[in-house]
Amino acid sequence: MASLWQPDEAFFDLIRDREVANVMLREVAGKKVADSNVTEKVKTQKDIIRDCLAGANDRPKVEGWVPKWLAFAPASYTARPFETLMRWKTVAPLLKGAPAPQPVPAEPPAPLAVAAE
């Protein structure tokens, strides 16, 4: 998924939970940064996550990050119920022993396809 997806403004607009934002911040910026910003507003935490993903404001750039929700297998950021995770737990036993998914190389679109859009 990381080779095909990047967080955009719509993604960040949908994050409103401080606990979720802080766990994401820990994934992207590390425990020290997340712990020092645990009481900050969600907007501030999201700004730091954006900086880390872009390599802005003297923060090291993080490549290939995807939220746990989009990972294979999906996971939750909180202990609250997460419907996708519940559904995954019913399907997971069927996939035991299956090979891990392989990244799909992104090919540039054909020039005529771009022109037709």
CA distance 69 to 83: 11
Q: Give residue-wise pLDDT tens across range 23-40.
A: 999 999 999 999 999 999
Domain residues for 15?
A: 9-89
Reported pTM: 0.69
Domain membership of residue 26 (yes or no) is yes
Does the residue 15 lie in any domain? yes
37 Cβ partners below 8 Å, 6+ apart?
22, 25, 44, 45, 48
Whether 40 is in a domain gets the answer yes
Predicted confidence band of residue 116 (pLDDT cuts 50, 70, 90): low
103 — pLDDT class (breaks 50, 70, 90)? confident
Q: What percent of the chain has pLDDT over 70?
A: 93
